[in-house]
Structure 1
Amino acid sequence: MRALLQRVTEAAVRVDGDVIGETGPGLLILVCAMQGDTDATAEKLAAKIAKLRIFTDEAGKMNRSVLDQGGSALVVSQFTLAADTSRGNRPGFSAAAPPAEGERLYGLFAQHLGALGIPVQTGQFGADMKVSLINDGPVTIWMDTDAL
């Protein structure tokens, strides 16, 4: 799986103008399931993100996790994280998991994150979503389970 984490002071996702998910201070997590990902992959990514120390402590050092901060997460599916831009000018997305499997793993990832004690809201898989955020820092972290 691939994820793009953004430390935010707030974030929201809208479908047809209606807010369907939001978070206050915490993380906006854009997630893409890849070909060959499994239930264990989703669990591993959730565990890593929950413990990732990207929030500042009293000394101003990135030394706290979203759990330590009591933060929440907005999890949004984004198959374009699977983009292959190595040929031509149009990205290819064949490395992404098929839609049904991608949706299942996206949901499982969000469930695992919630089970770890992080309040989670989500976007709507496959919808035309409008995401707004205020990036805190800015702090943006790219993660790929192949590198964990």
Structure 2
Amino acid sequence: MKALIQRVRHASVTVDGRETGAIEQGLLAFIGVEKGDDAQHAERLLHKLLHYRVFADEAGKMNLNLQQVEGGLLLVSQFTLAADTRKGLRPSFSSAAPPADGQQRFEALVERARAAWPRVASGEFGADMQVALVNDGPVTFLLES
């Protein structure tokens, strides 16, 4: 399971003109589910999302995590993160989880996140989503479980 995270000042996701999730300061996490990902992968990834120290402390160093700054977490499914781009000029999605498995894993991650942290929003699995954000920094990392 992969997450491309961006530290944001605010972010939102819209589906068919309807806002499905929005946060102020926090992390926007694009989630890619790969074949073989299971509940343990999701737990490790969620732990990283909540505890990864990417927010500045009083000295301006990245020492604070999402919970310490009381930030929001916006989870957006993005199967293209599972693409193999090493060869050719077209991505291969052979390592991505089948849609039903990906949806189950993503929705389970959202449920676990909401149980662990009160400021969680999400997009809709498999939907055509428009994501708006203001990247703070910019700060962007790829996390893998």
Q: Same fold (TM over 0.5)?
A: yes
Q: What stretches of structure 1 of length at least 5 have no aligned partner?
A: none
Aligned-pair identity in percent equals 48
Answer whether contact 1:73 1:118 (CA < 8 A) is retained. no
What secondary structure does 1:67 align onto? coil
**Partner of residue 92, structure 2:** 92
What secondary structure does 1:127 align onto? coil
What secondary structure does 1:86 align onto? coil
Give the Cα–Cα distance (whole angstroms) in 2 for the partners of residues 118 and 93 of structure 1. Answer: 33
Give the Cα–Cα distance (whole angstroms) in 1 for the partners of residues 35 and 76 of structure 2. Answer: 18
Where has structure 1 moved over 4 Å in runs of 4 or more? none
Determine if the alignment matches structure 1 residue 75 to structure 2 residue 58: no
**Partner of residue 24, structure 1:** 24
Question: Counterpart amino acid of 1:28?
Answer: L
**Partner of residue 130, structure 1:** 130
**Partner of residue 61, structure 1:** 61
Answer whether contact 1:8 1:24 (CA < 8 A) is retained. yes
- Compute the TM-score of the two structures, normalised by the length of structure 1: 0.94
Give the Cα–Cα distance (whole angstroms) in 2 for the partners of residues 64 and 87 of structure 1. Answer: 38
Q: For residues 83-133 of structure 1, give each alpha carbon's deviation from its aligned partner in whole angstroms, at most 9, with x where no partner exists.
A: 111222110111011111101111111222222224111101001101010
Give the Cα–Cα distance (whole angstroms) in 2 for the partners of residues 118 and 72 of structure 1. Answer: 8
Give the Cα–Cα distance (whole angstroms) in 2 for the partners of residues 91 and 47 of structure 1. Answer: 29
| Superposed displacement of residue 68, structure 1 | 0.4
Question: Counterpart amino acid of 2:110?
Answer: A
What secondary structure does 1:68 align onto? coil
Give the Cα–Cα distance (whole angstroms) in 2 for the partners of residues 142 and 69 of structure 1. Answer: 21
**How many correspondences in the alignment?**
145
| Superposed displacement of residue 48, structure 1 | 1.5
Give the Cα–Cα distance (whole angstroms) in 1 for the partners of residues 74 and 50 of structure 2. Answer: 13
**Partner of residue 114, structure 1:** 114
- Compute the TM-score of the two structures, normalised by the length of structure 2: 0.96
What secondary structure does 2:102 align onto? helix
Question: Counterpart amino acid of 1:139?
Answer: V
